[in-house]
Amino acid sequence: MSDSTEEPFLVFGAPKIGEEEIAEVEACLRSGWLGTGPRVAQLEKDFAAYRRVQASQVAAVNSCTAALHVSMVAASLEPGAEVITTPLTFCATVNAILHAGLSPVMADVDPRTQNIDPAAIEAAITPRTRAIVPVHFAGRPCDMDAIMAIAEKHSLVVIEDCAHAIETEYHGRPAGTFGDFGCFSFYVTKNVTTGEGGMILGRDEDRIARARILALHGMSKDAWHRFGDAGYKHYQVVECGFKYNMMDLQAAIGLHQLAKVDTHWQRRRAIWAFYQQALADLPLELPAEPETDTRHGFHLYTVMVDTARCRITRDGFLDAMNAARIGTGVHYLSVPEHPYYQQRFGWRLEQWPHAMRLGRQTVSLPLSPALTDADVERVIATVRRIISG
């Protein structure tokens, strides 16, 4: 049995769930409509309004991974085409490229922003390049002016991975609205959660309509509403699609999460700023401040633990935080570090030195609107104790 005086474990990325979400889930259960239905449609409408696009430009799916995969298929990229993305991302970004029958190409990151470096994108382009997948890391927008200029110059599709970037803006425009598609995550640790879930935002309404069809077995659009109270709708299978649709049970959570998005963002921004100030004198490498004329999503707060400077390894720091009952994350061990990609592609870590270093030093501290002031102070005190010895 644990000691009754032991402090509670701070779960990394715990969502803030209110009574509104709980009541909506109960109402959904009592309605008998758990699958794709009116709550999914309402979430799509609300999300479109939040990102200042038409409701016909979005489609809810069951994960950001699904959103990325479907977007690549809907973009009609030829098999084997090269897709440039960042090595500092979750494996889902690269796996979606592979599942779409495409070839991933890594371009290193800017070590200050930790986002993909436009100069590295330009250097990675070959005659087989057909698309770019920039990832707005930790909620910081990529340099979309430079990326879109490269895409226009080379006639490339752009699919924005916005898993960290629901609130993110660049020069007054929402992330996800620059490229051909923007793909968002509603995973449990994300700024808006449905437990599992995602959203596709498309610039072209024909392409997003195709993405919607692909996300539900390739059935014609009437299939989304075939069990409604307007009567049975016959459907036709028009493509070989996937089982990627979102359920109303998920959307029931998301409706109220989205309604609170700005309130929660303000709280995360305050915690992020508190960390910046309270940890500034430690030998940690802290995140760069947000760029001018951008809106940072403040999804992650990542610090770099350099063994020589901090007198502790990154993994030693992770273990010490866990022993203090504080959850942390690693975002991310660089993609080429993983055995599968090394074996399949023969990638050498030294090809992307910035991503390699960051991946070996990064630690994400708890950052959630569910954290109390006391929780934040506990995190800071623990970090200071571990680093200061």
Question: CB 370: neighbour CB atoms within 10 A?
Answer: 15
As a whole number of angstroms, the distance between CA 347 and CA 222 comes to 45
Amino acid at 204: D
Tell me phi and psi for residue 247, to 5 degrees. Answer: -95, 155
In the structure encoding, which two tokens stand for residue 83, read together? Answer: 């897709």
Distance of CA 217 to the CA centre of its chain: 24
In the structure encoding, which two tokens stand for residue 65, read together? Answer: 């991974």
CB 52 within 8 A of CB 288: no
As a whole number of angstroms, the distance between CA 39 and CA 34 comes to 9
Catalytic residue numbers read 190
In the structure encoding, which two tokens stand for residue 342, read together? Answer: 């090394």
In the structure encoding, which two tokens stand for residue 225, read together? Answer: 């509403």
CB 97 within 8 A of CB 83: yes
Count of alpha carbons within 13 angstroms of residue 290, beta-carbon side: 22
Q: What does DSSP say about strands 58-61 and 198-202: parallel, antiparallel, or unpaired?
A: antiparallel
